[in-house]
Amino acid sequence: MDINENEILLIRAFKNGDQKAFEKLFERYHKKLYAYLMRLLDSKEDAEEIVQESFIKIWEKREEFIEGYSFDAFLFKIAKNTFLNFTREKVNRRVFEDHFQLINEVESGKTDDYVIFKETREIIRLIIEGMPPRRREVFMMRKVEGLSRKEISEKLGISVITVDSQLLKANTYLKDELKKYGLLLICLLAG
Protein backbone atom coordinates (compact mmCIF):
# COMPACT_ATOMS: atom_id res chain seq x y z
CA MET A 1 0.00 0.00 0.00
CA ASP A 2 1.56 3.34 -0.97
CA ILE A 3 1.64 6.43 1.24
CA ASN A 4 -1.28 8.14 -0.53
CA GLU A 5 -3.56 5.15 -0.03
CA ASN A 6 -2.41 4.88 3.57
CA GLU A 7 -3.15 8.58 4.11
CA ILE A 8 -6.59 8.27 2.49
CA LEU A 9 -7.50 5.37 4.79
CA LEU A 10 -6.12 7.25 7.78
CA ILE A 11 -8.18 10.34 6.93
CA ARG A 12 -11.34 8.26 6.41
CA ALA A 13 -10.85 6.67 9.82
CA PHE A 14 -10.18 10.09 11.40
CA LYS A 15 -13.29 11.52 9.72
CA ASN A 16 -15.33 8.68 11.23
CA GLY A 17 -14.09 9.53 14.73
CA ASP A 18 -11.16 7.10 15.06
CA GLN A 19 -8.99 8.65 17.75
CA LYS A 20 -5.94 6.52 16.88
CA ALA A 21 -6.09 7.78 13.29
CA PHE A 22 -6.26 11.34 14.63
CA GLU A 23 -3.20 10.69 16.81
CA LYS A 24 -1.30 9.38 13.76
CA LEU A 25 -2.22 12.51 11.81
CA PHE A 26 -1.09 14.61 14.74
CA GLU A 27 2.25 12.79 14.83
CA ARG A 28 2.63 13.23 11.08
CA TYR A 29 1.86 16.97 10.93
CA HIS A 30 2.41 18.67 14.29
CA LYS A 31 6.16 19.32 13.88
CA LYS A 32 5.67 20.95 10.49
CA LEU A 33 2.89 23.16 11.86
CA TYR A 34 4.91 24.03 14.96
CA ALA A 35 7.93 25.08 12.83
CA TYR A 36 5.69 27.27 10.68
CA LEU A 37 4.13 28.96 13.71
CA MET A 38 7.51 29.49 15.37
CA ARG A 39 8.59 31.51 12.32
CA LEU A 40 5.48 33.66 12.69
CA LEU A 41 5.41 34.04 16.46
CA ASP A 42 8.93 33.56 17.76
CA SER A 43 7.36 32.22 20.96
CA LYS A 44 7.53 28.56 21.89
CA GLU A 45 4.55 28.76 24.25
CA ASP A 46 2.32 30.62 21.78
CA ALA A 47 3.25 28.25 18.92
CA GLU A 48 2.49 25.21 21.10
CA GLU A 49 -0.83 26.71 22.18
CA ILE A 50 -1.90 27.40 18.59
CA VAL A 51 -0.83 23.90 17.47
CA GLN A 52 -2.96 22.40 20.24
CA GLU A 53 -5.94 24.64 19.50
CA SER A 54 -5.65 23.91 15.77
CA PHE A 55 -5.72 20.17 16.29
CA ILE A 56 -8.65 20.48 18.69
CA LYS A 57 -10.52 22.41 15.99
CA ILE A 58 -9.48 19.83 13.38
CA TRP A 59 -11.01 17.10 15.56
CA GLU A 60 -14.18 19.13 16.10
CA LYS A 61 -14.52 19.87 12.35
CA ARG A 62 -13.47 16.42 11.13
CA GLU A 63 -16.88 15.75 9.59
CA GLU A 64 -16.52 18.89 7.44
CA PHE A 65 -13.30 17.57 5.87
CA ILE A 66 -13.81 16.84 2.18
CA GLU A 67 -12.15 13.66 0.95
CA GLY A 68 -9.68 14.36 -1.80
CA TYR A 69 -8.84 17.73 -0.27
CA SER A 70 -5.32 18.03 1.12
CA PHE A 71 -5.24 17.38 4.86
CA ASP A 72 -2.16 19.60 4.99
CA ALA A 73 -4.13 22.49 3.44
CA PHE A 74 -7.10 21.86 5.78
CA LEU A 75 -4.81 21.89 8.81
CA PHE A 76 -2.94 25.02 7.77
CA LYS A 77 -6.19 26.85 6.97
CA ILE A 78 -7.49 26.10 10.47
CA ALA A 79 -4.11 26.99 11.98
CA LYS A 80 -4.06 30.30 10.08
CA ASN A 81 -7.50 31.24 11.39
CA THR A 82 -6.51 30.15 14.91
CA PHE A 83 -3.33 32.24 14.63
CA LEU A 84 -5.29 35.30 13.44
CA ASN A 85 -7.83 34.97 16.26
CA PHE A 86 -5.03 34.45 18.80
CA THR A 87 -3.16 37.50 17.51
CA ARG A 88 -6.31 39.65 17.45
CA GLU A 89 -7.16 38.67 21.03
CA LYS A 90 -3.60 39.39 22.13
CA VAL A 91 -3.63 42.83 20.45
CA ASN A 92 -7.06 43.69 21.88
CA ARG A 93 -5.94 42.58 25.34
CA ARG A 94 -2.78 44.70 24.99
CA VAL A 95 -4.77 47.75 23.85
CA PHE A 96 -7.17 47.32 26.77
CA GLU A 97 -4.30 46.96 29.26
CA ASP A 98 -2.49 50.00 27.82
CA HIS A 99 -5.72 52.01 27.90
CA PHE A 100 -6.42 50.95 31.48
CA GLN A 101 -2.84 51.79 32.49
CA LEU A 102 -3.08 55.19 30.80
CA ILE A 103 -6.31 55.98 32.62
CA ASN A 104 -4.73 54.98 35.95
CA GLU A 105 -1.65 57.08 35.25
CA VAL A 106 -3.72 60.08 34.20
CA GLU A 107 -6.16 59.79 37.11
CA SER A 108 -3.34 59.45 39.61
CA GLY A 109 -1.39 62.31 38.00
CA LYS A 110 -2.09 65.98 37.87
CA THR A 111 -5.61 67.25 37.39
CA ASP A 112 -4.45 69.17 34.29
CA ASP A 113 -3.28 65.92 32.66
CA TYR A 114 -6.62 64.32 33.37
CA VAL A 115 -8.50 67.29 31.87
CA ILE A 116 -6.30 67.18 28.74
CA PHE A 117 -6.85 63.44 28.44
CA LYS A 118 -10.64 63.81 28.77
CA GLU A 119 -10.75 66.71 26.28
CA THR A 120 -8.65 64.78 23.75
CA ARG A 121 -10.84 61.72 24.13
CA GLU A 122 -13.94 63.89 23.65
CA ILE A 123 -12.49 65.44 20.47
CA ILE A 124 -11.83 61.98 19.04
CA ARG A 125 -15.33 60.83 20.00
CA LEU A 126 -16.86 63.88 18.27
CA ILE A 127 -14.79 63.29 15.13
CA ILE A 128 -15.92 59.65 14.99
CA GLU A 129 -19.55 60.68 15.56
CA GLY A 130 -19.21 63.06 12.60
CA MET A 131 -18.73 60.13 10.22
CA PRO A 132 -21.66 58.81 8.20
CA PRO A 133 -23.38 55.99 10.16
CA ARG A 134 -22.22 53.04 8.01
CA ARG A 135 -18.62 54.34 7.89
CA ARG A 136 -18.62 54.83 11.65
CA GLU A 137 -20.03 51.33 12.14
CA VAL A 138 -17.33 49.76 9.92
CA PHE A 139 -14.61 51.83 11.63
CA MET A 140 -15.74 50.83 15.13
CA MET A 141 -16.03 47.16 14.21
CA ARG A 142 -12.46 47.19 12.87
CA LYS A 143 -10.71 49.48 15.37
CA VAL A 144 -12.62 48.80 18.58
CA GLU A 145 -13.97 45.27 18.19
CA GLY A 146 -10.93 44.11 16.21
CA LEU A 147 -12.95 42.27 13.58
CA SER A 148 -11.30 41.34 10.30
CA ARG A 149 -12.41 42.96 7.05
CA LYS A 150 -14.01 39.67 6.00
CA GLU A 151 -15.88 39.34 9.32
CA ILE A 152 -17.19 42.89 8.92
CA SER A 153 -18.33 42.22 5.36
CA GLU A 154 -20.17 39.06 6.43
CA LYS A 155 -21.76 40.72 9.45
CA LEU A 156 -22.97 43.74 7.49
CA GLY A 157 -23.72 41.95 4.23
CA ILE A 158 -21.34 44.13 2.19
CA SER A 159 -18.28 43.30 0.10
CA VAL A 160 -14.74 43.37 1.47
CA ILE A 161 -14.00 46.07 -1.13
CA THR A 162 -16.77 48.22 0.38
CA VAL A 163 -15.32 47.61 3.86
CA ASP A 164 -11.87 48.67 2.61
CA SER A 165 -13.32 51.77 0.97
CA GLN A 166 -15.18 52.77 4.14
CA LEU A 167 -12.07 52.22 6.27
CA LEU A 168 -9.92 54.30 3.92
CA LYS A 169 -12.46 57.13 3.97
CA ALA A 170 -12.78 56.90 7.77
CA ASN A 171 -9.00 57.04 8.29
CA THR A 172 -8.63 59.97 5.88
CA TYR A 173 -11.47 61.83 7.60
CA LEU A 174 -10.00 61.13 11.04
CA LYS A 175 -6.55 62.41 10.02
CA ASP A 176 -7.98 65.55 8.38
CA GLU A 177 -10.16 66.34 11.38
CA LEU A 178 -7.31 65.72 13.82
CA LYS A 179 -5.19 68.21 11.85
CA LYS A 180 -7.91 70.83 12.46
CA TYR A 181 -7.69 70.16 16.18
CA GLY A 182 -3.88 69.93 16.08
CA LEU A 183 -3.34 73.52 17.18
CA LEU A 184 -5.87 73.14 19.99
CA LEU A 185 -4.17 69.93 21.17
CA ILE A 186 -0.73 71.56 21.07
CA CYS A 187 -2.07 74.50 23.12
CA LEU A 188 -3.63 72.11 25.63
CA LEU A 189 -0.45 70.06 25.94
CA ALA A 190 1.84 73.10 26.14
CA GLY A 191 -0.44 74.92 28.58
Residue 1 has pLDDT above 50, yes or no: no
CB 176 within 8 A of CB 187: no
Q: Which residues of 138-169 are buried (b: 16+ CB within 10 A; e: fewer)?
A: bbebbeeebbbbebbbeeeeeeeebbeebbee
The answer on 114 and 51 residing in a single domain is no
pLDDT at residue number 153? 92
pLDDT at residue number 106? 53
More confident residue, 160 or 42: 160
pLDDT at residue number 180? 75
The answer on 153 and 81 residing in a single domain is no
Answer whether residue 77 is part of any domain: yes
Residue 101 has pLDDT above 70, yes or no: no
pTM of the predicted protein model? 0.48
Residue 79 has pLDDT above 90, yes or no: no
DSSP 66: P
Half-sphere exposure of 88 (CA within 13 A, CB side): 16
Task: Tell me which residue range forms the domain holding 29.
Answer: 3-89
Separation CA 30–CA 149 (nearest Å): 29
Answer whether residue 153 is part of any domain: yes
CATH assignment at residue 19? 1.10.1740.10
Residue 94 has pLDDT above 70, yes or no: no
The answer on 156 and 126 residing in a single domain is yes
The answer on 130 and 73 residing in a single domain is no
Residue 68 has pLDDT above 70, yes or no: yes
Closest CA to 76 of 56, 47, 54, 97: 54
Q: What is the mean pLDDT of residues 42-63?
A: 86
CB 67 within 8 A of CB 46: no
67-71, 78-82, 184-188 — which is least confidently predicted?
Answer: 184-188
Question: What's the distance, CA 103 to chain centroid?
Answer: 24
Residue 107 has pLDDT above 70, yes or no: no
Q: What is the mean pLDDT of residues 112-122?
A: 69
